[in-house]
Structure 1
Amino acid sequence: MNQSILFPDIQTWDEEKQCVLFPAQQGGALIECAISKARLEMLSQQTCETEKQALALFCQFRFDIEELVEEEIEEENFDPQGRVAL
């Protein structure tokens, strides 16, 4: 794990966008990150129908998700708003 990228233990469900939002910090900069419900289900091989289920799956697979986000940050794969979206 790259220690220059930190992930605070903060995550929220965005009902409208159907994704879990969470921050990453690199060099003091805050980077907004998101993983879609579809990607979360694909990663976990489980379905989630509620906010509670989505957040539980996120917590269960947090390490894997953080590794994927680290790769995106290191490769500078940001969307036009400067976010990382999986």
Structure 2
Amino acid sequence: MNQSILFTDIVDWHDAQQKLSLVAQVQGMNVTCMIKAETIEKLAAIKIENSQQALAAFEQIRFDIEDLAEELIESEAFDEQGMIQL
């Protein structure tokens, strides 16, 4: 685990986009990481039908998602808005 990348407890579900966002702190800057519902479904082996299910599924696989996000941050795979898309 890279100590220069820390994940906060800030996790939000975006219903219109069907994505979940989490925030990583990288050298003092906040980086928003977005993960699609279908990716969460695949990793958690669950069907997401509402925000509560999305957040519960995320908590089950949180460390896997953080590892994936960390790899993308380290490889500087930011989108045009400066976010990480999983």
User: TM-score, normalised to structure 2's length?
Assistant: 0.97
Would you say how many aligned residue pairs link Structure 1 and Structure 2?
A: 86
Counterpart AA for 2:50: T
Aligned position for 2:16: 16
How much does 1:9 deviate?
1.0
| Coordinate RMSD, CA, aligned | 0.6
Hey, what's the Cα distance between the residues in 2 that align with 1:51 and 1:23? Answer: 18
Structure 1 runs not aligned, ≥5 long: none
Aligned position for 2:76: 76
The structure whose residues are more often strand, as a share, is: 2
After TM superposition, where is structure 1 displaced by more than 2 Å over at least 4 residues in a row? none
User: TM-score, normalised to structure 1's length?
Assistant: 0.97
Structure 2 runs not aligned, ≥5 long: none
SS of corresponding position for 1:77:
coil
What percentage of residue pairs aligned between the two structures are identical?
Answer: 48
How much does 1:6 deviate?
0.4
